[in-house]
Amino acid sequence: MAAGRPRTFCKNEALDRALQVFWRKGFEGASICDLTEAMGISPPSLYAAFGNKEQLFRQALDRYADVHSERRKEALSAPTAREAVAAILHAAARSLTDAESPAGCLYVQGIAGAGEHASCIRDMLNAKRADSEREICERLKRAREEGDLPEDAEPAALARYVATLTQGMSVQAAGGASREDLERVVDLAMRVWPS
């Protein structure tokens, strides 16, 4: 039996292009035609390399999550909780308005475009958002134990606050808010940070 033709495209580059399509159009809005055109491959190549559309989305989402997880971990390594949260929010203001990517955040944009019959997509997005919130909460718990946050501070509530801010900033960025607009939101949010 003859071997199939070797793959003639870079899987990671194709995945990055698919990610951009999902980010701009959402899971449901991205057609196979949109994806294959952006990826520079045929539908049979897409299915052979990535599986179905849902599997492709999962791989693109994992790639997106890896990049953002590294940035978040770097921010959370700051010496104080206040500096860590400020770093997360300032990084969000930059990435949400980066001209090289669609405005906003894939997690927020994707959840908005996931209808009733796409519960698995909503579940994936919710799990990724919950992971990031959990990482922030763990850092804030450590800060409280170390005396960096007041004893009455609630790490889970503060982590939800940070997540809500970043998600709201994503919606604002998708609506046209500039980096400067979002930086002002960050500055205001940090004025009320517990000390």
Of 71, 162, 165, 54, give the one whose Cα is nearest residue 110: 54
User: 3-state DSSP helix/strand/coil percent for the chain, to nearest 5?
Assistant: 75, 0, 25
Instruction: Tell me: pLDDT of 96 over 90.
Output: yes
Please state, as a whole number, how many other Cβ atoms lie within 10 Å of the Cβ of residue 187: 13
Instruction: Tell me: pLDDT of 83 over 60.
Output: yes
Query: What is the pLDDT at residue 115?
Result: 64
Q: What is the DSSP letter of 117?
A: G
Grade residue 6 by pLDDT with cuts at 50, 70 and 90.
very low
Does the residue 135 lie in any domain?
yes
Does the residue 99 lie in any domain?
yes
Contact between residue 47 and residue 110 where contact means Cβ atoms under 8 Å apart: no
Does the residue 33 lie in any domain?
no
Instruction: Tell me: pLDDT of 117 over 70.
Output: no
The sign of the torsion formed by the CA atoms of 147, 86, 83, 195 equals negative
Count of domains for the chain? 1
Higher pLDDT, 109 or 85: 85
Does the residue 154 lie in any domain?
yes
Find the CATH number of the domain harbouring 138.
Answer: 1.10.357.10
Does the residue 37 lie in any domain?
no
Does the residue 10 lie in any domain?
no
Query: What is the pLDDT at residue 12?
Result: 86
Tens digit of pLDDT for each residue in 101-115? 888 888 877 766 666
Tens digit of pLDDT for each residue in 119-160? 788 888 888 889 999 999 999 999 999 999 999 999 999 999
Q: What is the pTM of this model?
A: 0.84
Grade residue 8 by pLDDT with cuts at 50, 70 and 90.
low
Of 184, 180, 171, 29, give the one whose Cα is nearest residue 105: 171
Does the residue 21 lie in any domain?
no
- Structural domain boundaries, residue 128: 55-191
Does the residue 163 lie in any domain?
yes
Q: What is the DSSP string of 48-90?
A: HHH-SHHHHHHHHHHHHHHHHHHHHHHHHTSSSHHHHHHHHHH
Higher pLDDT, 128 or 35: 35
Give per-residue burial for 148-185: e unless 16+ CB within 10 Å, then b: bbeeebbbeebbebbbebbbebbbbbbeebebeebbeb
pLDDT mean across residues, the chain: 89
What is the C-alpha separation between 149 and 137, in angstroms, rounded? 12
Instruction: Tell me: pLDDT of 94 over 50.
Output: yes
Q: Token pair for residue 4?
A: 């199939």
